[in-house]
Every structure is written in structure tokens, then in C-alpha cells.
Amino acid sequence: MNMNIAVIKGDGIGPEVVSEAMKVLDAVAAKYGHTIAYEQLLMGGCSIDAYGDPLTDETVAKAKKADAVLLGSIGGNTSTSPWYKLPPKKRPEAGLLKIRKELGLFANLRPALLYDQLKDACPLKKEIADKGFDMVIMRELTGGLYFGERKTEEVDGVMTAVDTLTYTETEIRRIAIKAFDIAMKRRKKVTSVDKANVLDSSRLWRKVVEEVAADYPEVSYEHMLVDNAAMQLVKDPAQFDVVLTENMFGDILSDEASMITGSIGMLSSASLNETKFGLYEPSGGSAPDIAGQNIANPIATILSAAMMLRYTFDLDAEADAIEAAVRKVLVEGYRTGDIMSEGCTKVLCDEMGNLIAERV
């Protein structure tokens, strides 16, 4: 197969971890007889430095022509970087919001899996970690509070900020269908998270989810208020299979879920549109404090590349090979600093990439 992949290495540790994911993809291509053409694009702070814009229209056009996008991390230190002295629409993260909208990436999948080998790194009580967990958070990505109208103005002498949370029935239905489809391939359980006791948008969300659920009689489902869901994630994460939620709740809950796995550096993600096209990125941030030191954990980005092979290219065997290689390296006791534990061998970012590529 010929694969055309747009690569956006981004800011901070992005270039380091994406380079390792590309190394592993090249190993897969060599083993299974595929060819990969990469096109390097800029987005985020590096694009601001080069073009004065976090995401140019030319970059969007090139991304649309690719089969998929492999993305690193976007942004820098919000307190010291000159990027954050710019208007909000010109800051690095504005590029991320724009590309999601332009590419129609409404469905964000964030797996949260606790590897047996990393249970000691899990911050939860031992009896909770020993049960393990394996969930996917399905986050709606192009609607809600982050994309609603916003303004800050003076009203009766008082500065007032307004952010608008809007969802349509269509937006809710399409993400709910994605969640139930994935649940059919997993343990057939969906937990829909909302704030229906307060928000009209959540009441509509709950109504539409129930309508979609009627078409999936094999899938059990439940509704859970977001504050309870946040507590349940640290009390009993093993109860969750597919967690379906709106944009802001999903942003918060997926980061919480990532940390209970032991390190955000372990968590992959995929953002999909209504075709096979997807954007694949690690769940963590740009970590500017460790950028350029070759100590970042590339596993999340490598696992994101595996998701790309699975969801965009339908190459399940190749995706399985990457995931198995990651497990093998962990079983053998190799760790980057963020997941290091006693008795293991500490390795650098590029060394971890080499180890995984060799085991593909």
C-alpha cells in the first residue's frame, strides 16, 4: 500500500516524539511491503514564527490532500512565550481548533489503558490499579463551548466575558453513532456523560443518545453526570468501556484518564471525520520545559501511528505489530523517565523509538 501522510511535528517535544513514530512506521513499511510518503507541514508556534499565523490556508489545503495527518504537540509556555501575547485567534492552539474544523474532525478517540507493567506508576490505590482498566473516551470535537460565539465587553461599567455553548441534534447524533459503533467492537457498554441537571445542551444530548441507543440493542448504556464521572474515574475506572461526551467535558475527563494510566506520555488519540481520514496525535502537551533534551516519552505518538494504520488504512495486522512491540519493550523493562520504576532500564526518547522499531 502507498500511504501519503502529512506530518506536523509542532512545538516543544513534538519534533522529537514524531520523529520516533515515523521511525516505527518506516519499520512497519519495510516489514510489510508498504511505501510511505511524508510531507512536512507547520502548525502552532513554529508556524507563527515562520508565517505569522498558527495555521495557514496552504497548510490546510495540503493536509486535505493527504490520507492522514500525524501531529506532534502544539504550543509553548503560556507565561513566558511571546506567542501568548498575541490575540487569541493568533495563538498556537487556534491552529489546532482551526484544523479540526477545516478537516471536519468531529470524533476524538482517546484510549486509556493501564498496562500490567506500569501498574506501579498508576497513582491510584493498589487494589484499584490491580483491577486494571481499558476504556476509550469518545469526545465530540468541533462543537460546544470551544466553538461557540464569545466576547468580552464592558457592560454597565463592569468587564463581562461571554462564551456560548451550542449543540445541534445532528452534531450529537453523529458522535453518538461513532461511540456505539466502537462499543460493538469492544465490551458493548457506553457511558454517556453530561450535565443534564443544569444544561439545556445536555438535556438534548441525553435525548439524542437515547434515540441512538435504541438502534444498538446489544449495547448497554447509562447516563452519568460529569462531576460523578470525574469521581468514578479515580474510584473505579474498570467500570468504563466507551465514555461518550461533549467537547469540554471530554477535554477534561480524557486528561484525567490519561494520568491514571501512569503517564500522559502513554496515551494515543485519533480525531476522525466521516470518511477514513484522521488526524493522529499524542494526548499530552508540548512540555516545553523538557524540549530538546531527548527525554520525552514517544510511546503515545507511536501508538497514535498504530491507530492511524488501523482506522485510516485498515491495516490491523500492522497496528497489532506496533502495539505488541510496545508491550514487549515494557515487559523487557525499558522505561523513559516519566514511567521509570525500580529495577527497570532507563532509556532516552530516541532509544525507546529504536527499541520499538526493532521489535516490530
Nearest to 139 by CA among 262, 256, 219: 256
- Residues 227 and 10: their CA atoms lie apart, in Å, by 33
Which pairs with CB-CB distance under 8 Å and at least 24 residues apart come from 316-319? 317/32, 318/28, 318/32, 318/34
- Residues 132 and 260: their CA atoms lie apart, in Å, by 10
Q: Measured between alpha carbons, how far is residue 63 from residues 21, 83, 149, 155, 222 in Å?
A: 18, 23, 26, 42, 37
> Residue 155: CB partners within 8 Å, gap ≥ 6?
none
Q: Are strands 158-163 and 150-155 parallel, antiparallel or unpaired?
A: antiparallel
Q: CB atoms < 10 A from the CB of 326, how many?
A: 22
Q: 120 catalytic, yes or no? A: no
Q: Are strands 134-140 and 278-282 parallel, antiparallel or unpaired?
A: unpaired
Q: Catalytic: which of 255, 328, 346, 350?
A: 255
Q: Catalytic: which of 130, 215, 227, 314?
A: 227
Q: 255 catalytic, yes or no? A: yes
- Residues 301 and 281: their CA atoms lie apart, in Å, by 6
Q: 146 catalytic, yes or no? A: yes
Residue type for 97, please?
Answer: L
Q: 236 catalytic, yes or no? A: no
In the numeric block, the cell 523517565 is attached to 337
Q: Catalytic: which of 195, 221, 311, 338?
A: 195
Residue type for 34, please?
Answer: H
Q: Catalytic: which of 67, 194, 241, 251?
A: 251
Q: Measured between alpha carbons, how far is residue 7 from residues 17, 20, 85, 222, 272 in Å?
A: 12, 12, 27, 38, 16
Q: 276 catalytic, yes or no? A: no
- Residues 169 and 207: their CA atoms lie apart, in Å, by 9
Q: Catalytic: which of 23, 53, 146, 216?
A: 146
Q: Measured between alpha carbons, how far is residue 252 from residues 22, 112, 350 in Å?
A: 29, 13, 30
Burial class (CB in 10 A: 0-12, 13-18, 19+), 297: buried
- Which are the catalytic amino acids? 146, 195, 227, 251, 255
